[in-house]
Structure 1
């Protein structure tokens, strides 16, 4: 009986030790991203050349939260605060707007135990558009946009918790543009986001 109790106690301690040794499924990263819009648009009012409407490039902060279902598979929620963008027509500023673009991706990590761990991901982007001020208040954009998101990146482990990260995303962000209540163009912002940052695995 004492032998059986000792074996049971050792087994429980062994399971507890294994559970403590396992990596946490949670990871947080902070990145600085360079946002580069594709800037594709239809001819304004159906007249003239296309791509006359442009949105500026800029550098933005980003925080993302990842949850690992397995060593290889994870989901990542990418967040920032509302970003202000300037809009130009034929190079002349016509106003601005703000956008909040949370993105959710499903990732596959090829070499999760290696020092250099590449990954790819795909998912969806929801962009909320607000504070639109175009053409002195006469211009408007859609309030929201749903689109696809593609991602590729690389983690370099510094130790069991900290890592460096390089990440590239392509987002699908699109909106109709209006003036005086009439649609005048279809805008494809569709930005690239090229980011670098640090990650912490709990």
Structure 2
């Protein structure tokens, strides 16, 4: 999580310098713009699944596109532009493997306040799927794999309006992730409780 905190602190002075450069023109407004895109750097950190296992977090670029049905309500498609790579460690044994995942989600969002407010918080709730690949868990024994995780995703975030087009964003997402565990291609009936948090910092534009 240190990389996200560092990036957030580095972004603040950049925004302070950018605001005068993107000063809002008279009569220009964010109201009525119905589409926005955001590119972010996000850090996905699963919770410890138990059974003596620990799964490390990893950063990756993410992108979202939102259709704003009104100035307050929108539908967002969000996903990872690259895979998150996680190192899996076992207590007393160190690293026991790695696994990649690439989530995608569709959420309804509510943006509070007026479109031209400098700060606009928002919340979202939706459905996601996250595909796991390149599992190397288990060393030289039987291959351990994970089924696709799917379920609810919740989002809270804050937009900082630079002008009527450009804005900076920070957001926090939670996914209920309980993929089934497979050994040598066969189901085990066991779920891995990952339930990751995703912290993102990015820049967006609305049209």
TM-score, length of structure 1 as denominator length: 0.78
Aligned to 1:39: 48
Deviations 1:154-188 (A, max 9, x none): 11110110001111111112223344546385311
Number of the residue aligned with 2:148: 144
SS in 2 for 1:78: strand
Q: Which SS does the other structure have where 1:135 is aligned?
A: coil
Q: 1:94 and 1:112 mapped to 2: Cα distance?
A: 50
Alpha-carbon separation, structure 1, partners of 2:58 and 2:90:
18
Residue 159 of structure 1: which of 151, 159, 163 is its match?
163
Aligned length: 174
For residues 77 and 190 of structure 2, the distance between their equivalents in structure 1, rounded to whole angstroms, comes to: 31
CA drift of 1:112 comes to: 3.5
1:63 is matched with which residue? 63
Check if 1:196 corresponds to 2:198.
no
Max radius of gyration: which structure? 1
Answer whether contact 1:34 1:60 (CA < 8 A) is retained: yes
For structure 1, the 5+ residue unaligned runs are 1-20, 42-49
Counterpart contact for 1:53–1:88, Cα < 8 Å: yes
| CA–CA separation in structure 2 for the residues paired with 1:77 and 1:70 | 16
- CA 1:182–1:89: 2 relative to 1, 3 Å: farther
Structure 2: distance between partners of 1:139 and 1:192: 27
Return closer, same or farther for 1:155/1:182 CA change in 2, 3 Å cut-off.
closer
Structure 1 residue 106: deviation in Å? 0.5
User: In the aligned structure 1, how far is the partner of 2:147 from the partner of 2:191?
Assistant: 14
Q: Deviations over 1:97-150 (max 9, x none)?
A: 221110111100111421211110000110111122221352322331111100
The residue number in structure 2 matching 1:30 is 39
The answer to whether structure 1 residue 93 and structure 2 residue 95 are counterparts is: yes
SS at match of 1:189: coil
Instruction: Give me the TM-score of the superposition, normalised by structure 2.
Output: 0.76
- Structure 2: gaps of 5 or more residues: 1-29
User: Which residue does 1:102 correspond to in 2?
Assistant: 104
CA change 1:121–1:173 in 2 (3 A) is same
Q: Distance in 1 between matches of 2:125 and 2:64?
A: 15
Aligned-CA RMSD value? 2.1
